[in-house]
Each structure stands twice: as C-alpha cells, then as structure tokens.
Homo-oligomer: A and B are copies of this chain.
Amino acid sequence: MKTRDKILLSSLELFNERGERNITTNHIAAHLAISPGNLYYHFRNKSDIIYEIFQEYENLVDYYLDIPEDRAITLEDLTFYLESVFDGLWSYRFFHRDLEYLLDSDPRLRRDYREFTNRCLAAINRIFGKLAEAGIIEPQPEELRSAMSLNVWLVITNWMAFLKTAHASEESASLTLTELKQGIYQVLTLEIPYLTPEYRERVMVLREKYRPVLPEAAPA
C-alpha cells in the first residue's frame, strides 16, 4: 500500500480509538514509523487528512442510502438502511465526536457536511414515503414527515454520544458495534405509533432484536 493511503488508514484508526483531538501529526507519523516530514510531504496538514476521510465516509453513506425509485420498499430494505447507517457511523465514529470543531476549522468540510446532512434527511424522508406506499406505516402529511425525519436523524447521530457519556460505566473504550446498533431500537420506537395493523407485529419483533441493555443507575 502507498504511504499516502497508509496515512489515511492509520489516521482513521487512531482518531476512532483515541479521538481526533488527542492525535497529532506526530502521533500518526510515529504510528506508521515514518518521519513527520514524510507525512507533510503527502498532506499539507491534519485538516486535509480529515477532509479526505470525510469524503470516504460521505461516499459510503451515499452509496448505502441510494433508495430505489422503481420498486416498493420492504422491511428488509429498512433493516438494511438502518444497519448500514450504523455501520458507517461506527467506521468513522471519530467524526461526530468532534464535529463542531472540525467544521469550524475547515470551511470546505462545513459546506460539504451541510449538504451531506440535507441528503441524509431527504433520504430518510423518502424512506418514510416509501414505507407508507408499501403499507408499512400510515401516510402522514409532509410537514409531519419532515419533522419525523429530522428526529430520526437526531436520534441516530446522537446515539453514540449517549452510549459513550451516559451508558459506559467505566472507560469509553468498551463501546462495541453491537451496542451501537441498539440505536436501531430507538429509531424504530419513533415509528411505532405510525405502523399499520398489518405490519405492526413484524416491526415489533424486528425492534425487539435490538433492545438496548441499559445500565442500572450508578450506585452513589
């Protein structure tokens, strides 16, 4: 593998494990056993590395959220979308952790991320529309559907922070992909009141598979 790609890969790994804020260009170079000078030969600075990693993330999610126009949607499709989005969040989990700082530091990233969010919201909205067409949920007015889509997005993008800050009783290192996917339980909770009688039971069974194991309130 080319050094340039190794830098991107190691950076992602280190960012995910220890947080972007805790990783400097020195750390990345040291981890790869190359000189800092070499790293700066391939990238102008840390921001450029992050920007490229974001573009990978964006492409991945865009690819998964490509909603078919020509056919009806199924419960299996819905499961796939949810699983994929949480897979993406997991692989690039450093990103949302320091999102605000990253966007403040790089105008390109701010612009791209805003558009990315809009695409995701539009995709969620379209999924709600197709779920209604498929008779899985009751159709809702556009106004409500948009607000619901936004709530889905807020729950999805905040679930990991919740796990890392409130759930984990000790070090945050212990977070697993399985726990992360329990966020699907929370997303499906949002849809319960809108389910059609025909699908209600099937969705409840699906939801049950992701039930989070919440911690006891910590002892005083």
Q: Which residues of A contact B (CB under 8 A)?
A: 19, 21, 97-101, 103-104, 110-111, 113-115, 117-118, 122, 144, 146-148, 150-151, 153-155, 157-159, 161-162, 164-166, 169, 172, 185-186, 189-190, 192-194, 214, 217-218
Contacts and interface: CB of A to CB of B under 8 A. Distances in A.
B169 A114 contact: yes
Contacts of A193: 193-194
Contact of A154 (B21, B110, B155, B218): B155
Contact of A144 (B99, B161, B192): B192
Contacts of A165: 99-100, 103, 110, 113-114, 117
A144 B189 contact: yes
Contact of A186 (B147, B166, B185): B147
A115 B220 CA distance: 9
> What copy number does this chain have within its complex?
2
A115 B151 contact: no
Nearest to A119: B217
A117 B146 CA distance: 28
A76 to B, nearest CB: 23
Given A147-B189, A154-B162, A189-B148, A172 B19 contact: no
Contacts of A189: 144, 147-148, 151
A186 B150 contact: yes
Contacts of A19: 100-101, 104
A117 to B, nearest CB: 4
B151 A190 contact: yes
